[in-house]
Amino acid sequence: MKTTHIKKAGNSDAIRELKTLMAAFLALVLSLVSCKKNDIQPDEDDTALQHCDVVMVESNITEPTVWSRGHVYVIVGRNISVRAPLTIEPGVTVKLKDARLDVIDGNIIAEGTANQRIVFTSFADDRYCGDSNGDGAATKAEKGDWRGINITGGTNNSFLFCDFFYAGQNSGGYYNAVKIGGTAASFTFDHCRFAHTFSNIAASFHNSTAFYAGGLMVDPTVSKFTNNAFYDNGKPLYMSIRYTLDPSNVFHNPDNPSETNTLNGIYVTDGSAANGTASWLHTEVPYVVSEWIQTYNEKIIIVGPGVVVKFIGTSSGISRHDARNVQFHSTSIFTSIKDDAHGGDTNGDGNATVPAAGDWRGLYNSYVGDRFYEQGPNILYAAN
């Protein structure tokens, strides 16, 4: 450490030296204050290393493997199958181009820390581990640069303090950063960020979401999803109607709350959801339904105060066998996807469409001997 010795005040050289030192200190402070980043990044000494040794990953993971800090693991033009435990250490960067990680019957344990996040990003993303593709400024990271992480098997896949940036390239008709399928309902995602995922509006409705789990994401004790952030995506999240999403998850950039998602909402599916109680509690974004949901017996949805539920299309709505199957507060709102006054511009079309009566089917009470569509001030733009 360099030490600066300042002579006694009264000496002109000492005064000039003091002024120079103070000016340098002020410049440093101003540079730190004015520095703004699109993504929250840890200290340069942690995840955002300026140089990492490049390791090209060209073979499937068939035996227990560790990816260690100080390296950037690069996957280009191929799908890598994970068939044995893959441990990714805190601070590791994984860069991909036209590639995908497939977890089949192994698992991934990627447990970073607040100061040493694990980053899955584009091969062209020079912010992490520097210019790994060696092309200077010729290329930059773009949405859809890689195909995402496809988890169809294994148990206890764990992602803590992980970032998933610039994924969503077409992968068999799916456009996701992370896709859960097969028998992979057992997972943990905590303090993760899903951002800059490519969104294909022409894709089958739910196939283009940053995080896709659908009917597998039912039980919060099995599918653990907490403290995560979604921003600069199309549709953020697709899950079962039976899943109670923890309120710690947010749908904006924590570093820039005005940066949200184009189609900001929690997209839900009935799927094969069996009996169970789910609480819909999020008020930051609406819950979005595109199908006819039937609730009966012990299949119960509790819609919390101030929660907005939006419906897409004339065949979408909710049927309940009795009042307890769908319980809602006097401040809950059931409305059309075109209703920007409640829950914001969820369909991302600005003022191009306006809500109208008949936009969705309605809330149907299928009580035996007393069947009717419910009416009320919190049921808007339904057909019945």
pLDDT tens for each residue of 229-257: 999 999 999 999 999 999 999 999 999 99
Task: Please report, for residues 45, 205, 218, 284, the alpha-carbon distance to residue 305 in angstroms, rounded to integers and kept in the order given.
Answer: 44, 28, 22, 12
Residue 241 CA to residue 287 CA, distance in Å, equals: 9
Q: Residues of the chain with pLDDT > 90: what percent?
A: 78
Residues 129 and 200 in one domain: yes
Q: Are 363 and 379 in contact (CB under 8 A)?
A: yes
More confident residue, 371 or 88: 88
Lowest mean pLDDT among 74-78, 298-302, 303-307: 298-302
In a domain, 30, yes or no: no
What is the reported pLDDT for 187? Answer: 97
Q: Which helix (H) or strand (E) holds 193?
A: strand 193-195
- CA nearest neighbour of 167 among 150, 184, 189: 150
Sequence-distant (6+) residues with CB within 8 A of 30 are none
Residues 174 and 309 in one domain: no
Residue 233 CA to residue 82 CA, distance in Å, equals: 26
Q: Which helix (H) or strand (E) holds 313?
A: none
What is the reported pLDDT for 289? Answer: 97
Residues 281 and 165 in one domain: no
Q: What is the mean pLDDT of residues 35-60?
A: 67
User: Other C-beta atoms within 10 Å of 29: how many?
Assistant: 10
Show which of 273, 308, 336 is a domain's final residue: 273
How sure is the predictor about 384, in pLDDT bands with cuts at 50, 70 and 90? confident
Backbone angles phi, psi at 324, to 5 degrees: -75, -15
Q: Which domain holds residue 263?
A: 50-273
Lowest mean pLDDT among 42-51, 54-63, 238-247, 281-290: 42-51
In a domain, 36, yes or no: no
Q: What is the mean pLDDT of residues 257-280?
A: 90
CA–CA–CA angle 270, 161, 283 (5° rounding): 45
Lowest mean pLDDT among 7-21, 70-84, 118-132, 179-193: 7-21
Does residue 88 surpass a pLDDT of 50?
yes
Residues 89 and 159 in one domain: yes
In a domain, 372, yes or no: yes
In a domain, 25, yes or no: no
Show which of 256, 273, 290 is a domain's final residue: 273
Show which of 227, 254, 273 is a domain's final residue: 273
Q: Is 125 exposed, middle or buried (0-12, 13-18, 19+ CB in 10 A)?
A: buried
In a domain, 20, yes or no: no
Residue 141 CA to residue 157 CA, distance in Å, equals: 27
Lowest mean pLDDT among 132-141, 285-294, 328-337, 362-371: 362-371
With b for 16 or more beta-carbon neighbours within 10 A and e for fewer, the 178-211 pattern comes to bbbeeebbbbbbbbbbbbbbbbbeebebbbbbbb
Residues 352 and 342 in one domain: yes
In a domain, 9, yes or no: no
How sure is the predictor about 207, in pLDDT bands with cuts at 50, 70 and 90? very high
Q: Is 237 exposed, middle or buried (0-12, 13-18, 19+ CB in 10 A)?
A: buried
How sure is the predictor about 213, in pLDDT bands with cuts at 50, 70 and 90? very high
In a domain, 352, yes or no: yes
Does residue 6 surpass a pLDDT of 50?
no
User: Other C-beta atoms within 10 Å of 65: how many?
Assistant: 15
Q: Which helix (H) or strand (E) holds 248?
A: none
Q: Is 2 helix (H, G, I), strand (E, B) or coil?
A: coil
Does residue 23 surpass a pLDDT of 70?
no
Residues 253 and 377 in one domain: no
Q: Are 249 and 221 in contact (CB under 8 A)?
A: no
Does residue 16 surpass a pLDDT of 60?
no
Residues 186 and 312 in one domain: no
Q: Are 188 and 142 in contact (CB under 8 A)?
A: no
Residues 283 and 150 in one domain: no
Q: pLDDT per residue over 307-320, tens digit each?
A: 999 999 999 999 99
pTM of the model: 0.87
Residues 297 and 373 in one domain: yes
Q: What is the mean pLDDT of residues 54-81?
A: 97
Does residue 71 surpass a pLDDT of 60?
yes
How sure is the predictor about 275, in pLDDT bands with cuts at 50, 70 and 90? confident
Sequence-distant (6+) residues with CB within 8 A of 191 are 114, 160, 161, 226, 227, 228
Greatest Cα pair distance, the chain, in angstroms, is 100
Average pLDDT, the chain: 88
Q: What is the mean pLDDT of residues 32-47?
A: 46
Residues 165 and 100 in one domain: yes
Sign of the CA dihedral with 273 first, then 274, 276, and 277 last: positive
With b for 16 or more beta-carbon neighbours within 10 A and e for fewer, the 272-309 pattern comes to ebeebebbbbbeebbbbbbbbbbbeeebbbbbbeebbb
How sure is the predictor about 33, in pLDDT bands with cuts at 50, 70 and 90? very low
Residue 301 CA to residue 289 CA, distance in Å, equals: 13
Residues 99 and 241 in one domain: yes
How sure is the predictor about 340, in pLDDT bands with cuts at 50, 70 and 90? very high
In a domain, 141, yes or no: yes
How many structural domains compose the chain? 2
Residue 298 CA to residue 23 CA, distance in Å, equals: 70
Residues 378 and 361 in one domain: yes
Sequence-distant (6+) residues with CB within 8 A of 60 are 80, 81, 82, 83
What is the reported pLDDT for 43? Answer: 39
Q: Is 382 helix (H, G, I), strand (E, B) or coil?
A: strand
- CA nearest neighbour of 383 among 354, 357, 355: 357
